[in-house]
Amino acid sequence: MEPSGSVVAGGTLRRSTTHVAAVVLSLSAGVLAGCGPTEVPDPGSDVSEGSTASGPAGASPTAAPSAPTPAEQSDLAYAGAYDEAFRAGLTADTGQRVTLSGVVGDLADSRSAYELADPSDPDLDPLLVSARDPVPDLEIGDLVEVTGTVRNGFRSPAGTEGDEQADLYDQHLGDPYLDLADTKITDSPGP
């Protein structure tokens, strides 16, 4: 092309420059989109430098979460109250992760196992919860939210015969239960 006034006046050079700029901008945005983390932290989450969306740098990967995040809830078969409707369909959830809310009935002194009950239906059979880790502040009557895996056919762990948990476990032999559960106390009627 000649650098003549007619080329610029006709807009050919201007359109070419604009077209090239648009292509370069598009390619730059596409290349930059491939850089960086693939997970975007939830709005309002506290992710700072030295952290990841899954936790602070150096945090233990086995630390129990206090409650499922929206992303974790997507892999749940059920999230809601422990009630008659859930209990009726319990066998369909075998092997699935669920989040339940309810009240703590009986519990082991070790705070590693307890019964989850429906506060509005005392006649509903309680569900045994086997906690991933003991919950030291857990008390009978606490309202909790618990996330774990539904299992069928509870069997007492080896070595529990005659210990303080044996009575609790014996009441649930063969029953469905919640295994590897993470517990969050949502309300405590205690002093």
Query: In this predicted model, what pLDDT tens digit does every residue of 131-151 receive, in sequence order?
Result: 999 999 999 999 999 999 999
- Tell me if the pTM is above 0.75: no
pLDDT band at 4; cut points 50, 70, 90: very low
Query: Which residues on neighbouring strands pair with residue 183, listed in sequence order?
Result: 146
β-bridge pairing 127-131 and 143-151:
unpaired
Is 72-187 a domain of CATH 2.40.50.140? yes
- Residue 4 structure tokens: 């003549």
Whether residue 45 is predicted with pLDDT greater than 60 in this model: the reply is no
Torsion from C-alpha of 18, 20, 21, 24, nearest 10 degrees:
160
CA 115/CA 127 separation, integer angstroms = 5
CA distances (Å), origin 186, targets 100, 146, 179, 189: 12, 10, 20, 10
pLDDT of residue 136: 92
CA 114/CA 105 separation, integer angstroms = 7
Q: Where are the domains of the chain?
A: 72-187
CA 175/CA 171 separation, integer angstroms = 9
Query: In this predicted model, what pLDDT tens digit does every residue of 150-187 receive, in sequence order?
Result: 999 998 876 656 566 778 888 889 999 999 999 999 99
Query: In this predicted model, what pLDDT tens digit does every residue of 72-116 receive, in sequence order?
Result: 556 899 999 999 999 999 989 999 999 999 999 999 888 899 999
pLDDT of residue 156: 81
Whether residue 44 is predicted with pLDDT greater than 50 in this model: the reply is no
CA 123/CA 157 separation, integer angstroms = 27
